[in-house]
Structure 1
Amino acid sequence: MRDDLIDLLWEGLRQTLYMVFWSSLFALALGLALGVTLVVTDKGGVLQAPKLNKLISLVINSVRSLPFIILIVLLLPLARLVVGTTLGPTAAIVSLSIGAAPFLGRIIENSLKEVAEGKIEAAKSVGATPLTIIFRVLIPEALPALVRSITIAIIAITEFTAVAGAIGAGGLGSLAIRFGYQRFREDIMIATVLVIIALVQAIQWSGDGIAKSILRRRTKAD
């Protein structure tokens, strides 16, 4: 093991965690808004608006149909406008957030649709407003599924950072390409892969643990 390996891995991991954290936060805000809007504006929803629903669905499907590497390139002008550069982890957050938001919105939509229709109808029968139904019924009832959906999305964002590393975003992906592949450093390539696997496992275990904890508390309350 060469002396610089630990330093390179630490810097790559630091940049990856920075990108994953902020991209997940922004993507969650956008994705939750998209997912909730898709559910409540759908046919029979509490704010039924079929035309708006179809428009949002079309936009989501259009963005999701683009390979992520192409989406990053298309969003470079926006990244420059927002953060003043197209290189580095901060610039990548713009593309990562926008790229992950439609995916997250769709899986959040599916999670919210698992809520029993009877509970929504019960809320309507006592005069609950649409906002009350969203924040007191839909989201709380779907919380375990939402946590699992968000976990999947964070793992996907972690994978996206490796792709972003190919065009100057930094992080573990960039480290694997610039040092591991281009400079024939097998030690860096192997170490980077192991760190990414460990990071993804940690995210998955954390998400599963939170979801199970919510379910246990809900079972005890019942």
Structure 2
Amino acid sequence: MRALLAERQCLVVLDNARDEGQQSSWPGLVPLDTTEQARAWLESEASAWLATLRGAAARGEHARVAATAEAMEGFANVCAFSGYWTEVYHLSSEAAAALDDPRLRAAQLSMYCWALANEYRAEEAVARADEALEHARRAGDVSQQARAMYYASWPCGQLGRDEQRMEKLRAAADLFEAAGDHEGWTFSMLSYRTSRASSAAPRSPWPCTSVSSPSWTRPTAG
């Protein structure tokens, strides 16, 4: 019974994360009256909610898994190296594939690329970004095409493919501009210019920064 209650609590929190701003009526042991409380609980109980997400995936609850992962993208921004995002976005990519939604597949594969690059699994990350680009083109979604190019630039830099990295950043900037996404265009151009300026610097796994101060800024979802 305790395990069932814990799983039910996790499912409610995941749905709270998915349905941004909505309040839960579940009378659980943890207060879930606000989105902020839900996020704090997600961080402290990561092992529990990740197990619940795995369970939802195993039960074929593809829409829940994909929607939850999309909603958690903002949370990923503030704890990029928590260690569980690779699995989260692997599960959501599989869920999007099961739903046969090309835009969703592109979005989740781009995030999967980002998570893999955080673990320095650069070859895999590039492959996932290439898949994301393919599905974004299938969907006719220019913004997602831009994001796939932008995300691919990071692992290209990790692999020492500087020219390819800069080509992808320029392509991303052009696509973001075509999509009317000023934020994405700005990030892409800043990354491109910084990459050019640092191309002669000592090798760093971070393509858009100095060796001493790594950071990677992701444009928000389009």
Q: Which has the higher contact order (CA 8 A, sep 6+)?
A: 1
Higher normalized helix content (fraction of residues): 1
TM-score band by shorter chain is under 0.3
Query: If the length of structure 2 is used for normalisation, what is the TM-score?
Result: 0.25
Higher Cα radius of gyration = 1
